[in-house]
């Protein structure tokens, strides 16, 4: 298990995990890679992957506000999460990083690279989109919002466990083991602020699009998407067409979390990006 590290960023105490060795073989400091989780996630989403790139990078995964062990504090919106990212990088004395953003984390990553291009060596966009994406009918979202505001986000676990897993999701469960998979879901949802669930869920659907600004991204970019992650395959192709020299990798047999659902292909794609970048 990785120890949690904490640091003050504005009015937050932000929690992160990191890989062990910051030094490269020549004794210098390795470049940094940040793995940025998505909606309802946490740094646990990359717990098993932190050491996979030790020969190339020191790797960090932190909890965004309202998630994990980081402070629950308003406001919850994508622009604030960008401010938190830059503040956290400053707190860690990271001048320039490679950034992977998963799902909502990718939406944050896009806005961060557009607003602060000098801070990012390269960009990996994983199962994400440049525009609003509504993953459920408004009436269903309203019912879930009412449930979590009344009983906490952990109230979603029973409903989730009652639903059959898709084949890609089952691959992810098999990677972690059934007990560990559900333990992490329980931890993440228990830690999440219900107000973050409501506000950021709305942001996913109603965000201001950055699709018309994608051509301004000029750092090395790889776009990863699971072949079965239907809502995000189209947006991934859109981003690959709009960002100059972007590399699109469709990960076979994977859905929304390819780091678990096809870890070997995900690992090789990210390694190739880091070497290329």
- What is the domain count for the chain? 1
pLDDT of residue 29: 80
pLDDT at 28: 62
Q: What pLDDT score does 251 carry?
A: 98
Q: Which domain holds residue 54?
A: 5-276
Task: Note the pLDDT of residue 215.
Answer: 98
Is 163 exposed, middle or buried (CB count within 10 Å of its CB: 0-12, 13-18, 19+)?
Answer: exposed
Instruction: Quote the pTM value.
Output: 0.96
pLDDT for residue 203? 94
pLDDT less than 50: residues of the chain: none
Distance CA 137, CA 159 (A): 17
What pLDDT, on a 0 to 100 scale, did the predictor assign at position 20? Answer: 77
Q: What is the model's pLDDT at position 25? A: 55
CATH number of the domain enclosing 136? 3.40.50.1820
**Tens-digit pLDDT profile for residues 183-229:** 999 999 999 999 999 999 999 999 999 999 999 999 999 999 999 99
Per-residue pLDDT at 1: 73
Residues 6 or more apart whose Cβ sits within 8 Å of residue 86 = 112, 116, 119
Measure CA 169 to chain center: 17
Please name the residue that has the structure tokens 């269903």: 140
């Amino acid at each position: 298990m990785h120890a949690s590290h904490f640091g003050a960023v504005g009015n937050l105490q932000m929690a992160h995990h990191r890989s062990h060795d910051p030094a490269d073989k020549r004794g210098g400091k390795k470049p940094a890679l940040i793995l940025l989780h998505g909606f309802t996630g946490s740094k646990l989403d990359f717990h098993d992957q932190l050491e996979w790139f030790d020969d190339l990078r020191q790797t960090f995964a932190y909890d965004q506000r309202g998630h994990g062990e980081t402070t629950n504090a308003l406001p919850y919106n994508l622009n604030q999460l960008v401010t938190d990212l830059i503040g956290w990088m400053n707190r860690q004395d990271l001048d320039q990083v490679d950034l992977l953003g998963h799902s909502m984390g990718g939406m944050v990553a896009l806005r961060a690279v557009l607003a602060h291009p000098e801070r990012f060596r390269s960009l990996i966009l994983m199962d994400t989109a440049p525009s609003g994406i509504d993953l459920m009918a408004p009436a269903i979202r309203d019912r879930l919002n009412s449930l979590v505001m009344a009983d906490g986000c952990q109230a979603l676990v029973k409903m989730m466990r009652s639903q059959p897993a898709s084949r890609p999701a089952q691959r992810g469960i098999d990677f972690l083991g059934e007990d560990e998979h559900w333990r992490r879901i329980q931890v993440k949802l228990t830690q999440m602020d219900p107000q973050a669930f409501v506000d950021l869920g709305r942001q996913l659907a109603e965000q201001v699009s950055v699709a018309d600004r994608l051509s301004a991204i000029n750092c090395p970019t790889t776009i990863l998407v699971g072949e079965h992650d239907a809502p995000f395959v189209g947006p991934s192709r859109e981003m690959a067409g709009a960002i100059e020299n972007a590399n699109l990798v469709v990960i076979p047999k994977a859905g929304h979390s390819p780091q678990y659902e096809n870890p070997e292909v995900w690992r090789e794609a990210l390694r190739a990006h880091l070497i290329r970048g």
